[in-house]
Structure 1
Amino acid sequence: MRVKALAIVASLLVTVFGSAAAETSQKTNTLAPGVLRIGAYFINPPFEFLAKGKKVGFEVDLMKEIARRLRLRPAFVNTQWEVILQQMQDGRYDCIVGTITITAERQQNLAWSDPYMTTTLSLVVDSARMPQIHGLADFKDATVGVQAATTDYDVAVAMQQHGEIKGVQVYPFDRIADAMTDLAAGRITAVMKVYPVAAWLARRTPGLRIAVQIPHDPQPLGIGFAKNNPGLVVAVNSALAEMKQDGAFARLGRKWAVP
């Protein structure tokens, strides 16, 4: 009788867990079975960039771990910032990453994960040229460099309209090096980026420092999805919550110096 009872229990467990696995598989519908196709642009350190031809970065490791927990194989597709949101709408990927701020406008067209972090925008200056700049009030006569089609641009334009800065110089997203060159040459006063990216640039460029973090524009960062795949959003949110609870998320933050 005991053997028979154990066999019944085992059969029930297989049924329960098999059903759960099938339900999870059904919920995490992806473009290709067993694969999580992720759109990203690899000129965005420390979140995603190319190191000796290899795709690396905080969000690369983050998505690899999420995929592992969902029993999916991550497949990263290199694209450009200017088209990534539209490509996600068109169904080219299962999800997208790229230090993307969740905004009301972007929520109209895409679904989003819970924010995995909320950061700020920061202003990077050349210490030798701008030793007197220490706070936002010191930027009234400043020209700030930003990348096109970003929340950085939106915030900088609003600051200009409110008289907090004097001018805005816009650069194509893939030409951040031009902005850094102009900063070093004194053609602009500062470059605006989200804090983790600004800190990465400042640490690796002699003479640069973060002068101020913009206090009134929090930047919730998330993962974007098609609106017709809510099950995948739920599954990714669950994996994110697990990572924060078991310490995996914090370990990635320490690895890439992402607060």
Structure 2
Amino acid sequence: MKRKILAVTFFIGLLILTACGNTEGESNGGEEEKSEPSNKWEEIQEAGEIVVGTSGTLYPASYYPEDSDKITGYDVEIVKEMAKRLDLNVSFEIMGIDSMLSSVDSGRIDLVANDIEITDERQKNFAFSEPYKYSYATMIVREDDLSGIQTLEDLEGKIAGGGATTVFSQIAKHFGAEIKTYTNVTNDVYLRDVENGRTDLVMNDYYLQSLALEALPEIDVTLHPDLRFHPSEQALVMQKDAEVFHEKINQVLTEMREDGTLKELSEQFFGGKDASTPPDKEIKEIEGLDL
């Protein structure tokens, strides 16, 4: 794995990140005025392209390789292939996670592709495609003592590095952890802070954390060997009432799953792992937490 991961921002939850996981600024409208209702699919066909909101900084979902101005990533390449099969062009608008959902709601963009997790709350306001990634949460801890964490209940009083409003921070706070927030720093900063004791853990998506550790083997941190929790599904996001567009997207995703394209792209970007199907491990559900 190239060390290019150092050049991209590690969005804790979005990543995430999705991840991928921001929970503020998601109600209808946000700071933008919502456009009048229209047939989204007809608009897209007339324009001849799909306009997609993405971060360009979330490795390996959406990023710019070192010394390149061409965006790529698992989510990005899925959308490129979808557009090709729909005989459309695709353009990417780079924006922060807080802007993506309000922009799709207002009609400024047609689709969000950025490792966004499907949640009940988001489904009240947006339509999601069929999942193209299945994952779960884990945590990076110190290698010598696992940061004193054996169970999720041991998060009480610990310090978790992450975004203030992410799904992962919600989980950490639910178990009594304090959240230390950052502004656009790279992977090594998060991991070094765990190593030197400024924080105790970084909670995030399993696949994203695995890649971060592979890129930075010199830092004495590790994935917790026993804690796997909060199973998640990631999907493309579009306007709630874009019914025909929604149907078209799902048709193409089904084709890509059946012909092996999703598996091939996943293995390309996730170090040979197939994230396009649910994991075969037992994953703990978090109870008593409304995400």
TM-score range normalised by the length of the shorter chain: 0.7 to 0.9
Report the CA distance shift for 1:150/1:176 in structure 2 as closer, same or farther (over 3 A). farther
Per-residue CA deviation, residues 215-243 of structure 1 (Å, 9 max, x unaligned), is 44221111100123111111111111111
Report the CA distance between 1:56 and its aligned residue. 1.5
What is the TM-score of this pair, normalised by structure 1? 0.79
Say which structure is richer in helix.
1
- In the other structure, the counterpart of 1:243 is 256
Question: In structure 1, the residue corresponding to 2:107 is in which secondary structure?
Answer: coil
**Alignment root-mean-square deviation, CA:** 2.5
User: After superposition, where does 1:99-118 map in structure 2 within 5 Å?
Assistant: 99-118=115-134
1:147, 1:250 → 2: CA distance? 30
CA contact (8 A) 2:153 2:175 kept: no
- Which of 66, 76, 80 is the aligned partner of 1:64? 80
- In the other structure, the counterpart of 1:119 is 135
User: After superposition, where does 1:113-152 map in structure 2 within 5 Å?
Assistant: 113-128=129-144, 130=146, 136=152, 139-152=155-168
Give percent identity, aligned residues only.
23
2:73, 2:221 → 1: CA distance? 22
- In the other structure, the counterpart of 2:213 is 202
User: After superposition, where does 1:1-259 map in structure 2 within 5 Å?
Assistant: 27=41, 29-30=43-44, 33-51=47-65, 52=67, 53-128=69-144, 130=146, 136=152, 139-160=155-176, 166-172=177-183, 174-175=184-185, 177=187, 178-206=189-217, 207-212=220-225, 215-257=228-270, 258=273, 259=275
- After TM superposition, which residue ranges in structure 1, 4 or more long, deviate above 6 angstroms? none
* Larger-Rg structure: 1
CA contact (8 A) 2:210 2:223 kept: yes
Question: In structure 1, the residue corresponding to 2:258 is in which secondary structure?
Answer: helix
What is the TM-score of this pair, normalised by structure 2? 0.71
CA contact (8 A) 2:62 2:74 kept: yes
2:227, 2:101 → 1: CA distance? 25
Gaps of 5+ in 2: 1-38, 276-291
CA contact (8 A) 2:139 2:201 kept: yes
Question: In structure 2, the residue corresponding to 1:175 is in which secondary structure?
Answer: coil
What is the number of residues matched between the two proteins?
229
Say which structure is richer in strand.
1
